[in-house]
């Protein structure tokens, strides 16, 4: 048996003894070194996550989709050279057969698993994880365990930067300074893009060198060549359309808890392109490369690391004593 975090109902989470996974055909078993807690995990914990209402997710549920670890065994049909390698993996696991998967869009496969989110594949907030080898990504030695657990949110951020379609020297406005918003800013800055951020509390972002971080009342009237909405504010999707330069792009990755409104007249009359981002899949490899090269150092985004026994407290919004104002808490399943 091994220890794993189990969500048993809205607002209920506990560490349970569960069977140690065995690598089935096409799978590996990974010893988890670090796992991140993100907003999706919190929504699954509170019961607010839309998947719980649509029926694709249900309790009991084992969460965790941001992770790094070491492969300890491989199943039939898997290259044995994976054994002993440090890895992370894609959250989106497609069926591999449908027209979307065949076209390279497995992240929107109608029958996909989402690790630790949708039913069917237990997550990484556990000592060990069974995971399909086809969706593994090797981590180089220059990417430590904590940084490896940030690859998944960085892959989402990478896709945001790509979707913004900006050239060096152009101006990006990022709405929201959570983990994905800040990683988007870091990756864009590494490309020579002029980055501005909108934040309710700008101090932490400014401490990372983003001097052009503004509250809503401070935001200057500048031409914004692209806007990324990485917030959960229901009014900000519409604000993004109103702020972006005509003929340019708005990228949506944040989700509000209530429906958000966009005036399509603004989008049409400004000839705005709106792009939605679901999942990190196509961004994982370039995110790893950015971390490995040192172009982006995400470690200041980690407020602290705690053991699995403290994961329920983190989901409930209780931050560990002595943690920094950074947005990300990591879990070390081996720690007590």
Shared-domain flag, residues 98 and 223: no
**Tens of pLDDT along 292-306?**
999 999 999 999 999
**Tens of pLDDT along 196-249?**
999 999 999 999 999 999 999 999 999 999 999 999 999 999 999 999 999 999
Confirm whether 281 is domain-assigned: no
Confidence of residue 51 (pLDDT cuts 50, 70, 90): very high
Residue recorded with tokens 């800040």: 182
Q: Which helix (H) or strand (E) holds 290?
A: helix 284-293
**Tens of pLDDT along 253-291?**
999 888 898 999 999 999 999 999 999 999 999 999 999
**Which of 212, 186, 209, 187 is CA-nearest to residue 199?**
212
Shared-domain flag, residues 78 and 216: no
Shared-domain flag, residues 25 and 61: yes
**Residue 190 belongs to a domain with what CATH number?**
3.40.50.720
What Rg do the C-alpha atoms of the chain give, in angstroms? 20
**Tens of pLDDT along 18-38?**
999 999 999 999 999 999 999
Q: For residue 55, count other CB atoms closer than 10 A to its CB.
A: 8
- Which pair of tokens denotes residue 307? 């053991």
Shared-domain flag, residues 101 and 180: no
pLDDT over threshold 90, residue 3 = yes
Confidence of residue 322 (pLDDT cuts 50, 70, 90): confident
- Cα separation, 68 vs 41, whole angstroms: 17
Instruction: Give me the domain span that covers residue 121.
Output: 2-150+298-332
Shared-domain flag, residues 23 and 104: yes
- Which pair of tokens denotes residue 151? 């690859």
Shared-domain flag, residues 233 and 145: no
Shared-domain flag, residues 11 and 144: yes
Asked whether the whole model's pTM tops 0.85, one would answer: yes
**Residue 101 belongs to a domain with what CATH number?**
3.90.180.10
Shared-domain flag, residues 37 and 56: yes
For the segment 157-179, the average pLDDT, to the nearest whole number, is: 98
41 neighbors 6 (Cβ within 8 angstroms): no
Q: Total structural domains in the chain?
A: 2
245 neighbors 223 (Cβ within 8 angstroms): yes
Q: Determine what percent of the chain is predicted with pLDDT higher than 90.
A: 96
Shared-domain flag, residues 128 and 16: yes
pLDDT score, position 257: 80
**Tens of pLDDT along 116-155?**
999 999 999 999 999 999 999 999 999 999 999 999 999 9
């Amino acid at each position: 048996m091994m220890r794993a975090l189990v969500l048993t109902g809205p607002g209920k989470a506990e560490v349970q003894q569960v069977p140690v996974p065995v690598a089935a055909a096409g799978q590996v078993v990974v010893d988890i070194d670090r796992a991140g807690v993100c907003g999706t995990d919190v929504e699954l914990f509170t019961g607010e996550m839309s998947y719980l209402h649509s029926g694709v997710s249900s309790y009991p549920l084992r969460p965790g989709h941001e992770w790094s670890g070491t492969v300890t065994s491989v199943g039939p049909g898997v290259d044995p050279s994976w054994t002993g390698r440090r890895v992370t993996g894609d959250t989106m696991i497609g069926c591999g057969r449908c027209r979307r998967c065949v076209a390279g869009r497995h992240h929107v496969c109608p029958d996909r698993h989402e690790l630790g989110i949708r039913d069917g594949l237990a997550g990484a907030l556990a000592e060990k994880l069974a995971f399909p080898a086809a969706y593994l990504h090797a981590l180089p030695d220059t990417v430590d365990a904590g940084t490896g657990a940030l690859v998944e949110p960085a892959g989402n951020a990478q896709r945001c930067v790509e979707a913004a379609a900006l050239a060096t020297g152009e101006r990006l406005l990022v709405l929201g300074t959570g983990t994905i918003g800040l990683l988007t800013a870091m990756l864009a800055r590494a490309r020579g893009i002029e980055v501005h951020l909108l934040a309710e509390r700008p101090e932490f972002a400014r401490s990372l060198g983003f001097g052009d971080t503004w509250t809503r009342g401070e935001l200057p009237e500048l031409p914004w060549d692209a806007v990324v909405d990485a917030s959960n504010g229901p009014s900000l999707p519409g604000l993004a359309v109103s702020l972006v330069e005509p003929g340019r792009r708005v990228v949506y990755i944040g989700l509000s808890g209530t429906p958000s409104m966009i005036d399509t007249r603004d989008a049409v009359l400004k000839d705005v392109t709106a792009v939605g981002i679901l999942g990190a899949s196509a961004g994982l490899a370039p995110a790893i490369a950015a971390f490995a090269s040192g172009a982006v150092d995400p470690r200041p985004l980690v407020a602290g690391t705690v053991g699995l026994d403290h994961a329920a407290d983190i989901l409930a919004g209780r931050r560990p004593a002595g943690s920094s104002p950074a947005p990300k808490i990591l879990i070390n399943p081996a720690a007590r």
